[in-house]
Amino acid sequence: MADLTFTDQNFEGEVLKSESPVLVDFWAAWCAPCRIVDPIVHELAGEYGEKLKVGKLNVDENPNVSQAYSVMSIPTIMLFKKGQPVKSVIGAQSKENFKKAIDEVLAS
């Protein structure tokens, strides 16, 4: 599934009401670790296809969602299932760490 852009306005419809699990990359343009994680997130979107919805949420442009989920450090990769946050990975991590978290959520 293609990368999506999540916002304060579309978060409920795109993430909370999604039939499939959702990966949300909380990021900001000024964040160097976010730029490191960005290509990994794009690769994961391609690898997981229809099994996982993948998108990014700019914390500077969308403060309401960031505050609602207490995102204090970026990048934060948060996985949602059935409208609930079920797993978070904070900071620049290896692709394998992200895949492990995703696989756990998909298997549950």
Digit-coded pLDDT (tens) for 22-61: 999 999 999 999 999 999 999 999 999 889 999 999 999 9
Residue 1: pLDDT over 90: no
Catalytic residue among 22, 23, 31, 78: 31
Overall number of domains in the chain: 1
> Is 34 considered catalytic here?
yes
Could you tell me which residues are beta bridge partners of residue 77? 25, 89
Q: Where does the chain have alpha helices with state H? A: 11, 32-48, 63-68, 95-107
Block residue for tokens 């490191």: 36
Give CA 63 to chain center in angstroms.
15
> Is 31 considered catalytic here?
yes
> Residue 56 sits in which domain range?
4-107
For the question of whether the overall pTM of this predicted structure is more than 0.85, the answer is yes
Catalytic residue among 15, 22, 34, 37: 34
Burial of 103 (0-12, 13-18, 19+ CB in 10 A): exposed
